[in-house]
Amino acid sequence: MIEHANVGEDRRQDERVAKNLFVRFTRLEDLHADAPYRDGQLLDISGRGLCFLAEEALSLGSQLVMVLEFPGWQATADGKWIATKVEEDVGVLRVVGMVSWVAVSRAKPDRYETGISFSGVVTV
């Protein structure tokens, strides 16, 4: 089922930052099943969630493990992030989130905008 966001309604509590990066994701239950990660395009991100483009409509409530790479950033040992502005430095963030909404993209009708609410960080 695809839930369409109400036009003009913005329930966000945190400011979203537009980012044009790629994201890799897999369902939480597939994490240890050697299922391949799928690719998506990150549209925006905040402290509580993100929005990305996916090739398929993901089920509402699905738990995803997502891997995001941020060129020019690095995570410190105490978990803080610093901007190095060096493209070769790539900060990797692994998060768990729940699919909270899905809508056909207006810009790319063959893709689905997918809203994720963060529920945790994965440490490796």
DSSP 79: S
Residue 33 pLDDT = 83
pTM, whole model, 2 decimals? Answer: 0.77
Q: Cα 105 to the chain's mean position, in Å?
A: 16
Residue 47 pLDDT = 86
Residue 6 pLDDT = 43
Ordered structural domains, the chain, with CATH: 17-121 (2.40.10.220)
Per-residue pLDDT of the chain (124 residues; tens, 9 = 90+): 444 444 334 454 555 455 678 899 999 988 888 788 999 999 998 889 999 999 999 999 999 999 999 889 998 888 888 999 998 999 898 999 999 999 999 999 999 999 999 997 776 5
CB burial of 24-41 (b: ≥16 within 10 Å; e: otherwise) equals ebbbbeeeeeeeeebebb
